């Protein structure tokens, strides 16, 4: 599932190719991923419109139209954008395509059909309806700290909760825990404020670093946890091997003992 840095990369691609271009016509080859309109309704809504701006909130990308309504792109596991001119560049699993008046096209590719496309008339109402929390790059330290109060669940679960913090997914949550040496199963309320501040700052740094590298994993720093998520590898101090278990409902990698487990006292 694309996380915040991947969706920010999609946003940059969308902004650089498709803003301020009028949609001359729309073709829908498979409307399964269009959740609140059928194919004909989608075509009617978008034909003649122009994308004026875009807004990313966590893992959601909203494209603003010239009628101040929005098209939501939620990319799922395999959603992708493809800007092209010639038929030869059309992707195999293109589900719909916008034909712009400049003779270019923007296609949406999704082999496994896990993406979700919604037509959104009121952005604020939609965000409230789905309960989307503040963006992980926009949330302040004060807001972050306040959100941890009286929480007894795991820190990994806290980071993954999109109603608290929008944008952090499984891989980046593991990275935050690794870099701050917090065991992901630690109870949120037991983690010292100093450690929480370190995690907050690490989260911002990790996400920004990933964005700067266009969410291309092979260019991430060599000392990131991506290099350690392999069975049999040892912690940086050489004392323990990497382990994994389900935490927060997701497969989680960590180094026992190297990452401290904080628990509330009875």
| pLDDT score of 265 | 86
- Look over the chain and give the mean of its residue pLDDT values, rounded to a whole number: 96
Structure tokens at 185: 């199963």
Top-level class of domain 141-254: mainly alpha
The answer, yes or no, to whether residue 254 has pLDDT greater than 90, is yes
Yes or no: say if 257 and 242 are a contact pair by the CB < 8 Å rule: no
- Residues of the chain with pLDDT > 90, as a percent, come to 94
| pLDDT score of 162 | 97
Sequence ranges of the chain with CATH classification 3.20.190.10? 4-130
> 4-130: which CATH number, 2.40.160.60, 3.20.190.10, 3.30.930.10, 3.30.200.190?
3.20.190.10
- pTM of the predicted model over 0.85: yes
| pLDDT score of 227 | 83
For residue 108, the surrounding DSSP H or E stretch is: strand 105-109
Mean pLDDT in residue range 254-260:
97
For 74-125, the pLDDT digits (tens) are 999 999 999 999 999 999 999 999 999 999 999 999 999 999 999 999 999 9
| pLDDT score of 226 | 83
| pLDDT score of 91 | 97
Mean pLDDT in residue range 5-29:
98
For 40-67, the pLDDT digits (tens) are 999 999 999 999 999 999 999 999 999 9
| pLDDT score of 47 | 98
Annotate 65-94 with DSSP letters as a single string. Answer: ETTS-EEEEE-TTT-EEEEESSGGG--TTE
187 closest CA partner among 127, 248, 142: 248
For residue 115, count other CB atoms closer than 10 A to its CB: 23
């Amino acid at each position: 599932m694309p996380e915040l840095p991947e969706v920010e990369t999609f946003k940059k691609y969308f902004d650089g190719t498709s803003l301020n271009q009028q949609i001359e016509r729309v073709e829908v080859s498979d409307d399964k991923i269009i959740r609140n309109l059928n194919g004909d309704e989608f075509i009617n809504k978008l034909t003649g419109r122009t994308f004026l701006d875009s807004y990313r909130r966590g893992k959601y990308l909203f494209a603003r139209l010239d009628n101040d309504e929005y098209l939501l792109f939620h990319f799922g596991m395999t959603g992708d954008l493809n800007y092209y001119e010639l038929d030869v560049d059309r992707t195999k699993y293109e589900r719909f395509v916008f034909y712009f008046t400049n003779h270019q096209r923007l296609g949406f590719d999704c082999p496994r059909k896990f993406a979700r496309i919604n037509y959104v008339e009121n952005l604020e109402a939609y965000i409230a309806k789905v309960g989307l929390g503040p963006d992980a790059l926009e949330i302040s330290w004060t807001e972050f700290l306040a959100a941890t109060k009286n929480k007894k669940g795991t820190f990994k679960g806290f980071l993954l909760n999109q109603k608290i913090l929008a944008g952090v997914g499984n891989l980046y949550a593991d990275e935050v825990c690794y870099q701050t040496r917090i065991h992901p199963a630690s109870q949120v309320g037991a983690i010292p404020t100093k450690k929480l501040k370190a995690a907050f700052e690490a989260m911002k740094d990790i996400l920004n670093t990933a964005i700067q590298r266009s969410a291309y994993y092979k260019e991430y720093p060599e000392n990131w946890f991506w290099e350690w998520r392999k069975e049999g590898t040892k912690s940086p101090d050489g004392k323990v091997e990497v382990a994994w278990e389900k935490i927060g409902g997701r497969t989680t990698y960590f180094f026992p003992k190297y990452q401290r487990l904080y628990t509330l006292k009875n």
